[in-house]
Every structure is written in structure tokens, then in C-alpha cells.
Amino acid sequence: MDEFIMLISNVGFPIAVASYLLIRLEPVIKELQQSISGLTMVIAKQNEVTQGQINQLVDFVQKKKTS
């Protein structure tokens, strides 16, 4: 029983902090991702890149992110 309590006290706090930070930072990360996508499109438009090329670039980046 004492070992179980020690395990909870040693591991529980880092798990709680990591979970809290993940929950708090996830919306910020998604917002930053949307900003980066928008800025990528603006830069592409300024460099006269077609919409098809922009879509290919976005698809490429998303595939890289998931693999």
C-alpha cells in the first residue's frame, strides 16, 4: 500500500502538470497553425502561385505532419 502511495506521489504530479499544459496549450497551437496556413497563402499569392499549387503545398505539409 505504501508503495502505491509513493508511486502516485512521485508520478501523479508530473502527469497532472503535463495534462494541464496540454489542455491549456492545444487551442493556442491550433490558432498558430491557422495563422501559419493563412500567412502561407498570402505569401504564395504575392509570389503568383496558383491555387492548385497552394493546395498541393498544404496537402504535402499535412502529410508530413501526420507521418
Where does the chain have alpha helices with state H? 2-46, 51-66
42: Cα within 13 Å, side-chain hemisphere = 6
Domain count, the chain: 1
Return the closest-CA partner of residue 57 out of 32, 36, 28: 36
Domain that holds residue 43: 2-66
15: Cα within 13 Å, side-chain hemisphere = 6
Instruction: Specify the residue for cell string 496540454.
Output: 22
Reported pTM: 0.57
Per-residue pLDDT of the chain (67 residues; tens, 9 = 90+): 788 888 888 888 889 899 999 999 999 999 998 998 888 888 888 888 888 888 888 788 888 777 7
